[in-house]
Structure 1
């Protein structure tokens, strides 16, 4: 089974032209054409934490929302949301609290395709770096306790510049660090903040940064993706 996983910090749908344009974000996602998408900054930060991507808008595209929200007008948790291609079976889903000095969290969806289960986790880690290592440890504990023996992929804005430095050192054993490339800032990217981490049950087929005329202006990040094939044991 081959799937495309993607991560995209959509900056609350505010582009480099300072316009909030949710439809532009969705069009970039259509260009990307991923099966599982982790979004960061998908909800407003204050008030009702309303989603910047309305459910009615998402309904016009080939994905549906994994139900992780704790607020009626939100699609995520601390801005983290998961979209999956229609036809995927969605099982249990979770909002994950992370140790933090800032409003941070993660979300997990239990998914099934063609009878094959797997877990997708989306996250947005600490900007300051003071709790980033603790946050990765919390994600790994959750993956070990809740996703044991089930293929797992973690996607998000890790806010970590080095490929294998800092908090990324916490991923050991059979975890595969996939760093598709420079994704921030979108117009002239220099930083590799966005990445995908897969357990040993996945084989990497390819990865990349989605750069197009639209994606360079739609958000301050470019979306990243990885094409993975599940390994049967």
Structure 2
């Protein structure tokens, strides 16, 4: 079975031209026929900056996909019933049968809260476990988050995908720790290539990753550059093959 998987930090839909335009995100995902998408920096009734829109609900409806959302930040709104939420989301062409949000318990007063969104996606023949996260810039907190994710994800017998904006460099210590247990789709595709995803206008470094369990084989991996204005990050896309059970 073939799966097209994308990870994309959408910067609450705000492009490098300073316009908030979710339609550009829709067009990128639709054009590349994605089956599963992990999104970072998604607003849900958050503030005026994104017009108080439930962004993942809007995107899912526009694309005809199922969705899951997990907040990293959540607080009551002063004049609205809905809570202000911001975090990670997953879109899927297949049914999402389970979702759970894990807010990391390593907060710092000066650092943005982070979380891990877990979901189970029901494929025609088996269940796929998908995790999406946006990790901290702080090295100490980042290390704890990586340990948490590996502890939580390594025991599953189902095919597993972990992705998101992980704020690390290829071949760094955290990367090596993850790559010991999971396959980096970029390295599996072509280890001699650069897969720079940030900044979108002139990409210099890779911050966004897709890691997969060994029962998923990698056919291709690429940085999507069809619209460099849609966000400050570029999406990373992979085509995977899964043996049917």
Same fold (TM over 0.5): yes
Extract unaligned runs of 5+ from structure 2.
Answer: 75-80, 187-193
- Which structure has the larger Rg over C-alpha atoms? 2
**8 A Cα contact 1:78 1:103, kept in partner:** no
1:144 matched to 2:154: yes
- Residue from 95, 98, 120 that aligns with 1:89: 95
Alignment RMSD (CA, Å): 2.7
In structure 1, stretches of 5+ residues that fail to align are none
- TM-score, reference length from structure 2: 0.82
Q: Aligned partners of 1:57 and 1:157: how far apart in 2? A: 19
Report the alpha carbon displacement of residue 84 of structure 1 after superposing the two structures with TM.
Answer: 0.6
Aligned pairs for 1:40-189 (under 5 A) are 40-43=40-43, 53=55, 55-66=57-68, 68=70, 78-85=86-93, 88-98=94-104, 99-101=106-108, 102-145=112-155, 148-161=156-169, 163-179=170-186, 181-189=195-203
Map Cα deviations across residues 142-184 of structure 1 (whole Å, 9 max, x no partner): 1135xx21110001001112x1213112225441123371111
Structure 1 counterpart SS, 2:238:
strand
C-alpha displacement at 1:127, in angstroms?
A: 1.7
Choose between structure 1 and 2: higher helix proportion: 2
* TM norm structure 1: 0.86
Alpha-carbon distance change, 194 to 140 in structure 1, aligned in 2, over 3 angstroms: same
SS across alignment from 2:87: coil
Matched positions, count: 225
1:17 maps to which residue? 17
Residue 139 of structure 2 aligns to a residue whose secondary structure is coil
